[in-house]
Amino acid sequence: MAAYLFRRLLLVIPTLFGIILINFAVIQFAPGGPVEQMLAELKGQGNTLGRLTGEGGGEVRQQPRQQGGGTGDAPTGSYRGARGLDPAVVAEIERAFGFDKPAHVRFFEMLRGYLTFDFGRSLFQDRPVVTLLAEKMPVSISLGLWSTLIIYLVSIPLGIRKAVRDGSRFDVASSGIVLVGYAIPGFLFAILLVVFFAGGSFLQIFPLRGLTSQGSADWPFWQRAADYAWHMALPTLALVIGGFAGLTMLTKNSFMDEVGKQYVVTARAKGAGENRVLYGHVFRNAMLLIIAGFPSAFIGILFTGALLVEIVFSLDGLGLLGFEAAIRRDYPVMFATLYIFTLLGLVMQILGDFCYTLVDPRIDFAARG
């Protein structure tokens, strides 16, 4: 198993490289980059270059257009927005954003920094990207971790219970409830929770923004923990309400499929009790498919499903950071979030394989051809 894990970890390197390379190449052809946005701002609002270059002194002014085909009329480089601007101004903007270098040079400089988790500085917030990620990470980790744990802790026992009592009133009623929850979008349920319990039109029991209360850093540990749970209650509930259905039905169907197999009939014929059959024989085989979906479930909640919930509850997490970076073409933040998402996804896949062996030690990945 150790050799297999080592090989999988080695495969992370070319996989990361390939994903980053493809996305970097696509970005080079995407319109509306930071230089183009700044050119449009310069033409519409005058000088803003000093804010980018950090020069507090003289102002770089837009040059008047020359009649009869002067340099001000000619487009600079491949930027349509450069028409009517002094080429020196455009060159300074490219230098400020780091686009004065060839694409392959910028790519390998980016990779060199990624080896030490140096993601550069945000183009528009003028702060280290690592600092931004460190500030947003606790929010996303909290939402993803607690939501995934609650979904698994509730859905697996519920799915087993439904499989044991298949066709009963409990099975039909619980199926109706989980399917209704699945049909309600997470962000819509989040809005309903705000309206009813967070100072909307009815009650104000839970807070609406942030993970902690002001001044909570000086409180005792138990009080800080209670405050944290108080803030996390509604966002977590909004995320998990739609996650119960899929995992519950998957658990039920997996157990029902295993219960009908010959080895279960043989175990019962030998006098094994129902709990022994379910948890001693069926559980290992039925849980393999469920464990296979754990990495994707965690990553999905952590980085995609939480975006709208973060917006509704004013939680400034990685999902919102990545979305805003994509809209503004903040490339250092975009590539850094992509790097983190991909790295965590690959590591979670390896962790899923490791969990396979914990559930069923008979599985030997190292024996694969």
pLDDT in tens, 69-84: 433 333 444 555 555 5
Q: Rounded to two decimals, what is the model's pTM?
A: 0.70
121 DSSP β-pair partners: 128
Which pLDDT score is estimated for 48? 43
Confidence category of residue 302, pLDDT binned at 50, 70, 90: low
pLDDT at 200: 67
Question: Quick one: average pLDDT of 267-280?
Answer: 79
| Higher-confidence position of 180 and 87 | 180
Pinpoint the alpha helices (H) of 241-293.
Answer: 244-259, 262-269, 274-276, 283-292
d(CA 115, CA 57): 36
Give residues with Cβ within 8 angstroms of 81, minimum separation 6: 36, 39, 40, 43
Domain residues of the chain, as ranges? 34-116, 130-367
Regarding predicted confidence, which is higher, 74 or 259? 259
- Reported confidence tier of residue 361, pLDDT bands at 50, 70, 90: low
Measuring CA to CA, how many Å separate 291 from each of 242, 254, 297? 19, 12, 10
CB atoms near residue 233 (< 10 Å): 17
Q: Report pLDDT digits (tens) over 155-188.
A: 888 988 888 888 889 989 988 888 888 888 777 8
How large a percentage of the chain has pLDDT more than 90?
A: 0
Binned at pLDDT 50, 70 and 90, residue 265 comes out as confident
The CA angle 288-10-344, to the nearest 5 degrees, is: 60
Q: Phi then psi for 46, rounded to 5 degrees?
A: 90, -155
pLDDT confidence tier of residue 364, bands split at 50, 70 and 90? low
Q: What is the pLDDT of residue 365?
A: 60
Under the banding of pLDDT at 50, 70 and 90, the label for residue 309 is confident
Query: What's at 32, amino acid-wise?
Result: G
Question: Quick check: 63 pLDDT over 70?
Answer: no
Give, as one character, the DSSP assignment of residue 305.
I
| Mean pLDDT computed over 85-111 | 76
Mean pLDDT of the chain, nearest integer: 76
**Structure confidence at residue 6 (pLDDT):** 79
Q: How confident is the model at residue 211 (pLDDT cuts 50, 70, 90)?
A: confident
CATH classification of 130-367 is 1.10.3720.10, yes or no? Answer: yes
Cα–Cα distance between 229 and 240 in angstroms, integer?
A: 15
Token duo for residue 100: 């004065």
User: What is the structure's pLDDT at 307?
Assistant: 75
pLDDT level of residue 303 (50, 70, 90 thresholds): low
- Residues 291-311 have a mean pLDDT of 71
The span from the CA of 327 to the CA of 14, in Å, is 28
In this predicted structure, what is the pLDDT of residue 1? 66
